[in-house]
Amino acid sequence: MADAAPFRSAFRAAAATGRLLLDVKAVPGASKTEIAGVRDGRLRIRVAAAAEDGKANAELIAFLAKALGCAKKDVVLYSGEKSRLKTLALPPRLKERAEMLAACGPHAET
């Protein structure tokens, strides 16, 4: 298994809410939704949905929830609704699972 250290830089704690903040760069319009690594301190995720009417945001949240084994309501878009640079809030209990997921390499949803 690859080292999860680069992925840890994509996390930070939200003191006010107690949740973990995950910095993501979403790349909409991909052929499939998948994790594409870490770049510039952000988890890069290719999203198989258009960036219109919130479709890419909904696909991103659904993908992460499924990959983390949690409910969609646990993955909250914290900022970046209309930007490719997004921050998502996660319950602290998911940090270890998210680090393991990213460390194993790219993951796709077909």
Q: Hey, what domains does the chain have and what are their CATH numbers?
A: 26-97 (3.30.1200.10)
Spell out the residues 6+ positions from residue 15 whose beta carbon is closer than 8 angstroms to its own. none
User: What is the per-residue pLDDT across 64-105, written as a single tens digit (0 to 9) for each?
Assistant: 999 999 999 999 999 999 999 999 999 988 888 877 776 765
Tokens at 7, concatenated: 């992925």
pTM value is: 0.83
The rounded distance, in Å, linking the Cα atoms of 30 and 45 is 9
The predicted-structure confidence for 23-66, as pLDDT tens digits, reads as follows 999 999 999 999 998 888 888 999 999 999 999 999 999 999 99
Where are any strands of DSSP class E within 8-66? 11-13, 20-28, 33-39, 42-47
